[in-house]
Amino acid sequence: MEALNGKSVFGGIAIGKIRILSKGDRIVKREKIADTAAEISRFEAASEIAKQQLGALYEKALREVGEVNAMIFEVHQMMLEDPDYVEAITHMIAGQSVNAEFAVASAGDNFSEMFAAMDDDYMKARAADVKDISNRVVAILQGRHDGSVLGEEQVIVVADDLAPSETVQLDKSKVLAFVTRHGSTNSHTAILARTMNIPAMIGVNYADDMDGKLAIVDGYNGIFYVDPELQVVHDFEAKQQEEADKIRLLQELKGKEDVTIDGKHIHLYANIGNVADVAAVLQNDATGIGLFRSEFLYLGTDTYPTEEEQFLAYKTVVQNMAGKKVIIRTLDIGADKQVDYFELPKEDNPAMGYRAIRICLKQPEIFKTQLRAIYRASYYGNIAVMYPMIISVDEVCRIKQIVEEVKTELDEQGIKYGDVEQGIMIETPAAVMISDLLAKEVDFFSIGTNDLTQYTLAIDRQNSRLDDIYDAHHEAVLRMIRMVIENGHKENCWVGICGELGADLALTETFLKMGIDELSVSPGYVLRLREIIRNTDISK
């Protein structure tokens, strides 16, 4: 057995086989192809192998889990032969001279979105299937004959580093834990792991020959055990059981109010990155969504999401939340969230560069598309919107003007929308210092402690060498939070925290005593926070 140390990003224990992902495994690049006929043959050969694999899986499942459960592989085989699907791929290869991997991945995305948008539940469920078969064919084209990117069983994903755009493309149901060599605990990949409620570690110096070996991720202590002895496996299984028991106990808090002993009601919301995360929000009984990182809709695709696609995503989220508040943060692309098609210039200091609201105000056509989608979706539920990386009152005034233009256009087109509360993120020291002025302009503030800590302490949140001095408990950060709450309240502006610090249970009482109105955290933290809120008396 080997015990490798690393840094914990999210607690929890995972036991399973290691799957080392190398760069080529995950990224499907668009390439120009001269001989398109040969490329089509390559696709056809890969599709044939995929069908054989699915046939073998069908037989195996038939023996082990019965015909009803095995059927899915037959359905997958049929989908692979579907003339529309095959034509979409071959036409793309022939018409655009692109490589087979790219054509298959694009067809998979397009068909899956089409299925997801259908009203019929059966057809909706096919979205994941078409993605799955496409992943399988891409994997074969890339020379990995073991099927889909992550294979059939759940695995511990081990990689040098994972970009947010790569993480969002992984099939979550196959991931037991994330372990990376690089990355920082404050990066968006780390945040995604927390949102997904998956144990995660960084800074682990693994060896490439560990692929396929049994391992244990101890996300509490930041230890990665490779090839553990049987007794160690049993010990961790027992810990996993203890953990499950604790979570079961917390379930009793579902349906209970988020109110302190002395009667202050707190809005306990959850953070999400995509539509699928709503399931975890509901499971953990959050009373709203305090941060929908909408930029994840832009990651993992090869072109701008259309107004219609965004509208459907937002509408699905608000409808599933059934009247509970959903706060959508407008596009926060840039810094560690890079998307090729934005063609952002290479910058020396991307965290302080062309990102977030700066892009939206310079390229209002992108911003307006998103705002139209948000406003249209607001007709179906309780939507609020907030803008990231604000540094001035002038920005807020320009945003409001664009919002008015969007509303006028919708009125002229007879498109209905609801009342949309307007908020801003307070995540720059500048916004903190003028929070008295900003409070006059908006309905609420949401404090982004991840960036606020980075800019206040002058510590790049991506730099893992500085993780130990990235101190979100720093008195400067805490004073800023207090100042924002006081300034907000003077102008009837409610104040929340949506950065990771909001889930820091050691600070919950402090925040409550400062007068915080809302806390928005990864879904897995909601019930733990509810327990503390209900046991705190802020009058003492």
Residue among 499, 507, 522, 529 that touches ligand PEP (CB under 6 A): 499
Q: Does 448 bind Mg ion (CB under 5 A)?
A: yes
Three-state DSSP at 185 gives coil
Q: Is 498 a catalytic residue?
A: yes
Three-state DSSP at 471 gives coil
Q: Which residues contact 527 (CB under 8 A, 6 or more apart)?
A: 250, 251, 253, 254, 284, 285
Residue among 451, 500, 517, 518 that touches Mg ion (CB under 5 A): 451
> Could you give the string, one character per residue 265-304, with x where binding to ligand PEP holds by CB under 6 A and - elsewhere?
--------------------------x-x-----------
> Measuring CA to CA, how many Å separate 267 from each of 152, 264, 518, 530?
40, 10, 4, 10
How many residues make contact with ligand PEP (CB under 6 A)?
A: 11
CA distance 514 to 114: 47
Backbone angles phi, psi at 112, to 5 degrees: -65, -40
- 325: tokens are 């508040």
Least Cβ distance, residue 332 to ligand PEP (angstroms): 6
CA distance 227 to 421: 53
Q: Does 449 bind ligand PEP (CB under 6 A)?
A: yes
- 34: tokens are 């001269």
Query: Which C-beta is closer to ligand PEP: that of 203 or that of 448?
Result: 448
Q: Is 188 a catalytic residue?
A: yes
Residue among 451, 504, 517, 518 that touches ligand PEP (CB under 6 A): 451
Active-site pick, 76, 182, 188, 234 = 188
Residue among 187, 450, 522, 536 that touches ligand PEP (CB under 6 A): 450
Q: Which residues contact 139 (CB under 8 A, 6 or more apart)?
A: 25, 145, 146, 147, 148, 149
Query: Which C-beta is closer to ligand PEP: that of 285 or that of 451?
Result: 451
If we measure between CA atoms, which residue out of 242, 313, 306 comes closest to residue 278? 313
Active-site pick, 76, 267, 360, 498 = 498
Backbone angles phi, psi at 439, to 5 degrees: -60, -25
Query: Which C-beta is closer to ligand PEP: that of 100 or that of 200?
Result: 200
Query: Which C-beta is closer to ligand PEP: that of 8 or that of 195?
Result: 195
Site for ligand PEP in 191-220 (CB under 6 A): 191
Query: Which C-beta is closer to ligand PEP: that of 202 or that of 498?
Result: 498
Q: Does 498 bind ligand PEP (CB under 6 A)?
A: yes
| Contact criterion met (CB below 8 Å) for 393 and 335 | no
Q: Does 518 bind ligand PEP (CB under 6 A)?
A: no
Least Cβ distance, residue 389 to ligand PEP (angstroms): 8
Query: Beta strands of 278-324 (E only): which ranges?
Result: 288-293
Query: Which C-beta is closer to ligand PEP: that of 292 or that of 311?
Result: 292
| Contact criterion met (CB below 8 Å) for 190 and 10 | yes
Taking every pair of Cα atoms in the chain, the longest distance, rounded to a whole number of angstroms, is 77
Query: Which C-beta is closer to Mg ion: that of 381 or that of 499?
Result: 499
CA distance 193 to 22: 19
> Would you tell me the crossing angle of helices 36-65 and 83-96 to the nearest 10 degrees?
150
Query: Which C-beta is closer to Mg ion: that of 76 or that of 355?
Result: 355
- 422: tokens are 């307007």
Backbone angles phi, psi at 252, to 5 degrees: -65, -15
449 touches which of ligand PEP, Mg ion, none (CB within 5 to 8 A by kind)?
A: ligand PEP
CA distance 166 to 92: 24
> Could you give the string, one character per residue 120-149, with x where binding to Mg ion holds by CB under 5 A and - elsewhere?
------------------------------
Least Cβ distance, residue 535 to ligand PEP (angstroms): 26
293 touches which of ligand PEP, Mg ion, none (CB within 5 to 8 A by kind)?
A: ligand PEP
498 touches which of Mg ion, ligand PEP, none (CB within 5 to 8 A by kind)?
A: ligand PEP
Least Cβ distance, residue 291 to ligand PEP (angstroms): 6
Place of tokens 């755009």: 165
Site for ligand PEP in 392-431 (CB under 6 A): 427
CA distance 150 to 19: 7
If we measure between CA atoms, which residue out of 250, 204, 241 comes closest to residue 226? 204
Least Cβ distance, residue 181 to ligand PEP (angstroms): 22
Least Cβ distance, residue 419 to Mg ion (angstroms): 26
Which residues form the catalytic set? Answer: 188, 498
Instruction: Kindly list the residues in this chain that would bind Mg ion in the complex (CB under 5 A).
Output: 427, 448, 451
Instruction: Kindly list the residues in this chain that would bind ligand PEP in the complex (CB under 6 A).
Output: 191, 291, 293, 332, 427, 448-451, 498-499
